Structure 1
């Protein structure tokens, strides 16, 4: 149940960011839900492979290259999903930063008190 709630909150985050950020377009909420699911799968499968292959440049840039990897994952999702589009890699970088911030805010609201 918690996984489904996180997926729905991620879809809300995608939809909200696409509404406010020029250069990102999401057709409807169902497409945002599909984008959230595809991004989760790509982050689970493709991102670790990219991180391993680009480890030297990630170390040299002190981890900033991970922003480019996140943008590439978003552009890959753009190619896979018909109702989702991102105009450039820099918009994808900004989208990934904003998505991370909104996800951390939403997920912190889900945490239960451990008292």
Structure 2
């Protein structure tokens, strides 16, 4: 999937998250540039910081049979919210928001794949 399409899908997923779940929102008067910037920061954090967090938490992740990954995803969302126009209501809000965001992203990725917009041939 192209970079621009991935950025737009992430921005749409973040926007839908703020509409579906009240624990995550954008600051008042946030514009489309802020939403796109939040999606870009989310992509950068997922590419650079999340793998390090997963590696550092590997022993506890093994003990919890992978469930600690949900906590890592919440930390990632919380980090993104701390530097962008995204607003999260505490760690619990980040935890539930990360789960909802994963579901929304999965659905959007499935739709993109079914429509053939991901560039793969059937």
The TM-score normalised by the length of structure 1 is 0.89
**Structure 2: segments with no counterpart, 5+ residues:** none
**Residue 92 of structure 2 corresponds to which residue in structure 1?**
90
By relative contact order (CA 8 Å, sep 6+), the higher-ranking structure is 2
Tell me how many residue pairs correspond in the alignment.
114
Runs of 4+ in structure 1 deviating by more than 6 angstroms, as ranges, are: none
Q: Residues 50-69 of structure 1: matches in 2 within 5 Å? A: 50-69=53-72
The TM-score normalised by the length of structure 2 is 0.84
**Residue 41 of structure 2 corresponds to which residue in structure 1?**
38
**Residue 108 of structure 1 corresponds to which residue in structure 2?**
110
Tell me whether 1:80 sits opposite 2:83 in the alignment: yes
Q: Give the superposed CA RMSD.
A: 1.6
Give 1:53 deviation, angstroms: 0.8
**Structure 1: segments with no counterpart, 5+ residues:** none
